[in-house]
Amino acid sequence: MEIQLWREILMPYELAVKELEVKFNHIINEYRVQKMYSPIETVTGRLKSISSILEKCRKKDIPIENITEQIEDIAGIRIMCQFVEDIYRVVDIIRNRNDMEIYQEKDYIANAKPSGYRSYHLIVKYNIETLEGTRKIFAEIQIRTLAMNFWATIEHSLQYKYRQNIPEHITKRLTASAEAILKLDEEMSSIHDEIMDAQSSFIIHAAIVSEILNNIQNLYKVANRREVIKIQDEFFEIYKLNDLEQLKSFARQLDIIAEGYRAQSLR
Ligand code: 0O2
């Protein structure tokens, strides 16, 4: 095929890669602006090279004239996440979008490949506007953690170097490192859960303290001053203990007292 013809074939895919990169980076920015954690860490895109397309045609016996129907990863997007849970959040984000339609899904995280490869693959149908009108093309989106990406990048370059004939001793070490990557991701997820727990108990703690202080402030307006000072001292003692359960129980008792004085609704 003439180079000019290849250019024409690849142009919409090149545009799709650019557009999808912009769109996924925009998601990161939306989270950033809302001061929220983004499940997407980074996004990269690539257009499959002509030699890789030809190689795939040869391997899979695909006639050149069928490449746009049968090769689904001419446009490729890779999304990197910090944690495994984020991958599934990203899949949901994509599922809920109107500008791309999921055509195929492969969960190589739940079912890792025999090589140890882990990643979530989506083939989406994506509309591209061209001079000839709208064209629906395929794009592949690979979603993986930073750790999975590290392993896949090294393994891919070894595959390339050894042309599918990776020596047995290296394959064994790659399998072992895939297991280490799996453990690393699990460990990171458990640290993540702990951080989330710590964050939510900090928020609960802050809300209870503010509720207690509000009640004490209101009691000053309606109750016996000496009694309120006693309650306040008691609160300081409990606060020093840094025990959420004791704080909760104190807040409940104070609620009852404040209710007795109808002090809760005071501003
Ligand atoms: P490249 O150079 O990354 O584009 P198919 O897509 O039909 O060829 P398959 O196995 O049906 O092959 O699809 P699958 O499993 O979704 O794999 C598609 C892509 O996933 C591959 O593209 C790789 O990028 C990646 N991949 C799949 N398995 C492995 C693996 O064991 N190791 C690594 N490092 N990457 C993998 P290409 O076209 O093979 O290569």
- The two structure tokens encoding residue 258: 């404040």
pLDDT at site 253: 94
Distance CA 107, CA 75 (A): 19
Q: Mean of the pLDDT values across residues 172-196?
A: 92
Distance CA 144, CA 152 (A): 10
pTM of the model: 0.78
- Residue 181 alpha carbon to ligand 1 centre in Å: 19
pLDDT tens, position by position, 134-171: 999 999 999 999 999 999 999 999 988 887 788 999 99
The secondary element (H helix, E strand) that includes residue 186 is helix 168-222
pLDDT at site 3: 66
DSSP state for residue 139 in the 8-state scheme: E
Residue 141, beta-bridge partner list: 77, 122
Virtual torsion, Cα 40, 45, 51, 52, nearest 10 deg:
20
Query: Would you say 124 and 138 are in contact if contact means Cβ atoms under 8 Å apart?
Result: yes
- Residue 166 alpha carbon to ligand 1 centre in Å: 16
Residue 11 has pLDDT above 60, yes or no: yes
pLDDT tens, position by position, 38-86: 999 999 999 999 999 999 999 999 999 999 999 999 999 999 999 999 9
Residue 125 beta carbon below 6 angstroms from any ligand 1 atom: no
Residue 73 beta carbon below 6 angstroms from any ligand 1 atom: yes
Helix (H, G, I), strand (E, B) or coil at 138: strand
